[in-house]
Chains A and B, each alone.
Chain A
Amino acid sequence: MTPGPRPPLSSSASSPGPMTRPPPPGSAPQDPNSPHMQNALRRPSTTSGPPTMPSSPLMQRPPLPNGPPSSGSQSHPSPLQRPPPVGGVQRVSSPMMRPNMSLPGSPGMPRPYQSPQIQSRPPPFMGQGQQGSAPGSQPAAPMGYNAGPPNGGPTGYAQHPSQPTTPRMQHQTQQPPGFQSPMNQQQQHQQHQQQQQQTPQFAPQQLMQPPMQGQDPAASGMVVGPPTPTPQMGGAQKPKRVYPTGMNSFQEPTSSYDTGFQPAAAQGVPPPQFGAADPSMQAPGQGLFVPGEKQAPTFGHPVPAYQQGLQPLAGQPLQPGVNQLAGQMGGMNLNAGYAGQGPSLSTVALMGTAPKIFDLEAPPPTINLPANASITQSPHANCDPSYKRSTLNAVPATSQLLTKSRLPFGLVITPYRSIKEGDEPVPVVSDSVIARCRRCRTYINPFVKFVEGGQRWKCNMCYTLNEVPSSFDYDSQTQQPVDRWQRKELNHAVVEYIAPTEYMVRPPQPLVYMFVIDVSYPAIQCGMVATAATTILESLDRIPNDDGRTKIGIITAASGEPQMLVVSDLEEPFLPQPDDLLCNLSECRSTLDILLNRLNDMFKDTQNVGNALGPALQSAYKLISPVGGKILCLQASLPNIETGALKVREDPKLLGTSKESTLLQSASSFYKTFAVDCSKSQVCVDMFLFGSQYSDVATLSCLPRFTGGSTFFYPAFTAAKSEDALKFAHELAEFMSQRIALEAVMRVRASKGLRMSAFYGNFFVRSTDLLSLPNVPRDQSYSIEISFDDNLTIPTVCFQTALLHTSSSGERRIRVLTLALPVTNSLSDLYMSADQVAITTLLACKAVERGMNSKLDDARDALTNKCVDILGVYKTHMTAASNGATPNLQICDNLKLMPLLTLGMLKHVALRGGSQIPSDLRSYAMHLFSTLPSQCLIPYIHPRFYALHNMPEHCGTIGTDGIQMPQPMNLSSERLERAGLFMLEDSQNIFLWVGREAVPALCNDLFGVPNYESIRGGKTTLPTLETDFNQRINLIIGKTREMRRTPYYPQLYVIKEDGDAALRLWFLSHLVEDRAEPIMSYYQYLGHLKDRVNNGSF
């Protein structure tokens, strides 16, 4: 193993950071979140430790993982050096975000590998920005873009006019039928427009315009309201196209739907309940004209999104963009969510109709909190579902009720989701006043109560009375009284505190990136090293480096071929010059450039097939463990030397048997032990695996799993294929530039009576309710199961997640997410408030765990059983049929996609039976199952499927809210047409399916080839042509790659109907509703569920 050439020596001397760590701040607790440690905090003068604790070493809390043992005296002034707090919400738009696509001329980041179609994309997406600045201006007219479709319009590609459309599909009636002549279609389209203009709902006096930034709300003479689409205006038509010019901003609330994390598919198809809730939505809207926000409707009632425009965010200047985004966020969770459901449970029959897949995009069921549950009427008082959502939006009062309902109860948390252009940044409390309950350590939140004239506050978890800090009402620095109701922590459910020194055991660590690059023969040969070096070089500027402390190191791992510094002792790796190998990014930039440019050449003639990953990791660990940081491991061959050596253990005979799960478990204990060590030293390991052969993803992904890292897997990678190189380069660059959180611990508190019982995701569980995450990557999701300790006698329960972390700009921060839910005694409320998306996310994690630890069969059975249980209990208790056999399956409307999603999981690579799935692919899919956030996991389980050959002409053009996507279709091969062009995407891959009778015009317009035969199948990049159709498809693909918050870059495959059989089967395996031996089709599956429900076997 040869550590790479070392960078200049000047680095460590001037880098102030943790290498020259000051003595620890006395017996500062490792985790201030912990109730036990609080005593110590409260009595800084006690030097003998927390008095309540026995002094036996056994009984004391463990010393900090990184910090020296807590022995110092408190009087030690801790020379903590922390950069001055960044005031207010000065959040730099993080470079982890994609370069701003909405500004055509924006410089963006250097992304030379970016595909041309993205670079050349016209200004799309977040149309709100433009609207915000010029509310009255006309949106880019979508009609102009594709007026007079050159090829006779999209419909021209449909060759079989007689192709029957499936009458079942509700949405098809809304879609211009594909077989109409273009002329007809346009005519119809115009008629449609006229109709809509006459639609009474949109009469001006009812139209409501959201106040724009910098615009006096009262001056805009209209009330703002959510769009009130009526059933006849749903469907493929985007309402915005028919509005009078001045009404553009009317679109705002809807657009939050589309540009948020759940874009596209449901465009223009509002959830059915939307319209129904119309009257109730408008009533509060009237209140808007009253300037005082206090009169706004209570939290339990629908709070219109537009309100937020009126409320300057507390304590911070009104920021252009921010509030508007806030409005959108609010629109997403409150507006849509709250308006959602009437009081009654609506039961739907499952069999005989195609599943209504649009509802996958629907917001979670309403949280019907009692009136005045929150002390401020802020629309942000409750947590946005993109941060934290519960499987049940009403909590059962007793564990018996929960058991009876058979519904899983848990939280899906994405605490560190990325903030894209158009999202509201997390408000920051920067004055270091952190009010917490002295008993249960809950942070003050919008659901506490002020008592005794506001002198004290009553904790909403444990009902202890606490003093209100004086700085809530009086600012001692400016000597001015302040309004406590303006405090962000009382108005926002998601809030970030800048933590004072009590929350640190050492100065906040800098970002440290340690690359461990495999330079063995397979790695060089597949081009991984060259691609990686180029990408790292180009991404150096995107690595967060606000205060110039970021450090980089590179270790290359092979097997002892002398290069530069050689560590020849593989058994006891040592570091010749520990300080100098890790260099400061800013100071050693030129050296790094030189090294990275030469990296591939240095090893290009290697014939070495050995790889000593274990010793390389140990060296990297020794190097960075005093600081903590990130080890990025790029591995193209199986480690086969010394510690951590792995064998090719893939045995096709085991696949598909009950022994298969042994292949999914770690093969070597080294990786688990090493992961635990890393976790202790705040080191995170990320794995980029490139497998031309078996790469043992199961074992190697152990490291990320327990250190809060991520795994990326590129099967059959070869940089010679530009698509492969592009995907890897994109993901690596995106990953490196993420503004991650460091040295974090996460704790979830809940109201008395509830307990967090199981945790799923990538972290190390350090105590019964404390998760330790050396790194928190953006957009990783964690699922937590909740169990009952006691029955609940309170009207609302609260879940509070606290993430104590160091931001990548070197600040210690606490992110607090508070979710309040009502308690219910009725089974019907419970069913009505069940969130099928969150349930699926939780069940996916549980199934993966079951599959790894026992048998895949068990995991699949458990999923089906859960479905049967839920359907059975629902039938018995909620429908008239009760015990008898029924001809149909019934379930409440908000759970109607459970069977489909369950079937999707059963058919997914992660859980599907059979002996065809290599364990690497399965392991990777399992990894994604347990880490993907809901908005990626749902398409991963149930891909989106579009017909492109006959999509309405506005699809793929830029509307006011970004690129318009076609209608998603049901995943059934019935939809495939011989002359069609279909797209299917599962958030990891995009497939373009070309029917064998595709007309030459289509081939020419899209691929630039004369006929179907000349289309090349497989992994590909779509050419950029001048044709309208090609541009639209490119836009749709571009949008698909962008629209979910995730570093993953879906790869495009072209599937020809008579092409490569393996590819075709792979594509067809995504069609969940089809029969795929030996797994049933959707209708068979429903039949199976029905039989079991009728037999009472639940």
Chain B
Amino acid sequence: MSMEAMVFLFGVIVGAGLLFVKVFFVILISDLEVDYINPIEMCNKLNQLVLPEMFVHALLSFIYLISGQWIATAWNLPLVAYNANKIMTGKHMYDATEIFRTLGQHKKECFIKLGFYLLSFFYYLYR
């Protein structure tokens, strides 16, 4: 098995993982909207996953970078930059006190990321 295949196999697995994480995010956010979960609990659950998700994504991008997969790297870099920026400004965590004011934003972001991971997944799979 070539190096490239290995990298993309890894990408597919990680991509699927990220996809699941994002689905979990979306589920929890819609639960909050219909009042099945309270915001404190939801934020505690999601905040555990925020950093791992970003880290795993950054790691994947880094692997693409060192293995010379320029297209995959270019595809992933904007999100890495976006995540990094969020961490820098300290806005990456879900804040229970503000959650209802920012829920729309979070939801939009989650759906965009979900779409992004989905596309990535199929790209890694069929490439």
Contact = CB atoms under 8 A, between A and B. Distances in A.
Interface stretch (A59-67, A812-820, A827-835, A1078-1086): A59-67
A764 interface: yes
A766 B28 contact: no
Interface of B: 27-28, 31-33, 35-41, 90, 95-97, 99-101
Interface residues of A, number: 23
B95 to A, nearest CB: 7
Given A58-B27, A706-B97, A768-B35, 16 more contacts: A34-B35, A58-B31, A58-B36, A59-B31, A59-B36, A60-B36, A61-B38, A62-B41, A669-B90, A676-B96, A759-B100, A765-B100, A766-B38, A766-B39, A767-B39, A768-B33
A45 to B, nearest CB: 24
Interface of A: 34, 36, 53, 58-62, 669, 672, 675-676, 679-680, 706, 758-759, 764-768, 770
Nearest to A64: B38
B35 A767 contact: yes
A709 to B, nearest CB: 14
Given A58-B27, A58-B28, A765-B39, A675 B100 contact: no
A767 B100 CA distance: 8
Nearest to A57: B37
B40 A680 contact: yes
16 contacts: A36-B35, A58-B27, A58-B28, A58-B37, A59-B31, A60-B36, A61-B36, A62-B37, A62-B40, A672-B95, A672-B97, A680-B40, A764-B96, A765-B39, A768-B100, A770-B35
Contacts of A59: 31, 36
A1028 to B, nearest CB: 54
A765 B103 CA distance: 12
Nearest to B45: A58
Nearest to A764: B97
* A-B pairs, 10 with minimum CB distance: A62-B38, A767-B35, A765-B100, A59-B36, A676-B96, A706-B97, A62-B41, A676-B40, A766-B38, A672-B97
A808 to B, nearest CB: 26
Given A58-B28, A58-B31, A59-B31, A767 B97 contact: no
Contacts of A676: 40, 96-97
B97 A61 contact: no
Among A34, A706, A766, residue most surrounded by chain B Cβ atoms (within 10 Å): A766
A926 to B, nearest CB: 16
A672 B101 CA distance: 16
A675 B97 contact: yes
A353 B117 CA distance: 64
Contacts of B37: 58, 61-62
A57 to B, nearest CB: 9
A156 to B, nearest CB: 58
A909 to B, nearest CB: 25
A1050 B17 CA distance: 60
A62 B43 CA distance: 13
Nearest to A702: B97
A171 B93 CA distance: 57
A36 B38 CA distance: 13
Contacts of A764: 96-97
A664 to B, nearest CB: 15
Contacts of B97: 672, 675-676, 706, 764-765
A62 B96 CA distance: 14
Contacts of A706: 97
A764 B100 CA distance: 10
Nearest to A706: B97
Nearest to A770: B35
A706 B39 CA distance: 13
The residue among A34, A676, A680, A758 with the most chain B CB atoms within 10 A of its own CB is A676
B101 A758 contact: yes
A767 B31 CA distance: 10
Contacts of B31: 58-59
A58 B99 CA distance: 18
A36 B27 CA distance: 19
Nearest to B99: A765
A767 B42 CA distance: 11
B65 to A, nearest CB: 32
Nearest to B39: A766
A678 to B, nearest CB: 11
A533 B5 CA distance: 74
Contacts of A60: 36
B15 to A, nearest CB: 24
B47 to A, nearest CB: 10
Contacts of A36: 35-36
A672 B38 CA distance: 17
A860 B100 CA distance: 24
Contacts of A758: 101
Contacts of A759: 100
A676 B99 CA distance: 12
A60 B35 CA distance: 9
A658 to B, nearest CB: 15
A138 B90 CA distance: 69
A58 B31 CA distance: 8
B86 to A, nearest CB: 15
Nearest to A765: B100
Contacts of B35: 34, 36, 61, 767-768, 770
Contacts of A765: 39, 97, 99-100
Nearest to B24: A58
- Give the interface centre of A34, A36, A766, A767 by most chain B CB atoms within 10 Å: A767
Contacts of A675: 97
A676 B32 CA distance: 16
A727 B98 CA distance: 34
A60 B37 CA distance: 7
B76 to A, nearest CB: 29
Contacts of A766: 38-39
Contacts of B101: 758
Q: Which of A58, A60, A672, A758 has the most CB of B within 10 A?
A: A58
A768 B36 CA distance: 11
A768 B31 CA distance: 11
